Structure formats: structure tokens, C-alpha cells
Chains A and B, each alone.
Chain A
Amino acid sequence: SQTIHQWPATLVQPVGSPLSLECTVEGTSNPNLYWYRQAAGRGLQLLFYSVGIGQISSEVPQNLSASRPQDRQFILSSKKLLLSDSGFYLCAWSKQIYNEQFFGPGTRLTVL
């Protein structure tokens, strides 16, 4: 069966520090991968999606970036965090477009 992992689960970082969140999927190949951010009490905002290794599409221009160095690995990064980057970050995968997405447990990021 397929599983999706995210780490860390929680993170507290000072403003201006770098960020690296990692997501890995097991049990499937060539998944579509997604990074979302969820502000408190809000819906999900799609940040990045990837249909293959090295292929990244950005939905929202900001100081975050994403990379997909391996088929089942998706990384969310920032060189300098802002206060507004605080939120709940969710990674998800799907087998095909239009299909259901499967979410990881999320990372709670607090930028102080």
C-alpha cells in the first residue's frame, strides 16, 4: 500500500532563517506531488505541484521554492523565512490528474 511521509511534524524558526520541509511517498511510482499551505481556520492554498522529476509548477509567487530530486521526493524550501510563512504545510500525491489526492500528516511551521 502507499504511504506518504512528511517531516518534521512541527518547526519553530526565526524570521530570516532558511527552511527545508521534506515529503516522500512509498508504494507508487511517478506520482503527481503537491505542496499546500493552510492558514489557521482557512482552506488549502496550492503552492507547488510536480508531474515528474525536476518538473515544478508554481501557483503562488513568494519566497518559497520546491524541488523534486527523486521520483517520490518533494522538498519545500526557503532561503529566508517571513512571519507570513507561518502555517500548516501539507504534502499530497495523486496517481493521475483529476483523481483523489492523498495527504501527509502535515508540518506546523511557526515563524517568530
Chain B
Amino acid sequence: SQQGEEDPQALSIQEGENATMNCSYKTSINNLQWYRQNSGRGLVHLILIRSNEREKHSGRLRVTLDTSKKSSSLLITASRAADTASYFCATDHGGSQGNLIFGKGTKLSVKP
């Protein structure tokens, strides 16, 4: 079945650096979403980008979507130690169900 796959699986950077995470999927979608999960907690929605959008910003977050390559990227600029978390992309089926399929996530560690 269709699945978003994040890359890399783990990323370690210094505070102040930018962090880029990528997501690839297999079939057409209506939208792609990014979520954040702190250890042992529920997921928090970050941003939703629709299939007819190419780029979206929210604060220090920048998301791009390339439907021709079936890929998306999440950029966190000027990272902070508090950004340490796992980040997941989620795609829908592209049909009428609308249920989300989550990837395995990228574990981001930002060192002070």
C-alpha cells in the first residue's frame, strides 16, 4: 500500500543550523501533512500542503511538494534544542477515504 517514507531516519545537528527532512510516497495524493512527536507524546500537526501547492511556510518551517517526483521536504531553519523530536509525513490515499498513512519518521536531535 502507499506509504510516506522519511529520509534520513535520524539527523543530528547543532543549534542554529538548518534541518532538512525528506518524504517520498508512491501514488497520487490530495494532500501531504507533516507532524511532530516529542518522545512518549501524541503527534502534533505542523503543516498541510495540498497537491496543487508547491511550497508553504509556517514560522521557521518551510515545506515543499514535488508531485512529479512524489516527494516533499520539511526545512526547519535556525533550529533550537526544543525542536528535538521525531517528524512524520502523512499522505492520504488519493481517493475518497482520506485516511492518512504515516511514514516511520525522522528522529531529529538538536544539540545546544
Contact = CB atoms under 8 A, between A and B. Distances in A.
Interface stretch (B12-20, B65-73, B75-83, B100-108): B100-108
Contact of A101 (B41, B97, B100): B100
A45 to B, nearest CB: 8
Main DSSP-derived SS at the A contact region: loop
A44 B40 contact: no
A105 B92 CA distance: 23
B88 A46 contact: no
Indicate the size class of the contact surface on chain A.
Answer: 20 to 34
Given A43-B103, A98-B92, A103 B42 contact: yes
Contact of A44 (B44, B45, B48, B102): B102
Contacts of A97: 92, 96-99
A52 interface: no
Interface residues of B, number: 23
A43 B104 contact: yes
Interface of B: 30-31, 33, 40-45, 48, 88, 90, 92, 96-105
Top 6 closest A-B pairs, CB basis? A97-B98, A103-B42, A43-B104, A100-B45, A44-B102, A103-B43
Given A98-B92, A101-B90, A105-B42, 14 more contacts: A42-B104, A43-B102, A43-B103, A43-B104, A49-B99, A96-B98, A97-B96, A97-B99, A98-B30, A100-B33, A101-B33, A101-B45, A103-B42, A106-B40
8 contacts: A43-B103, A49-B99, A98-B31, A103-B42, A103-B44, A104-B42, A106-B40, A106-B42
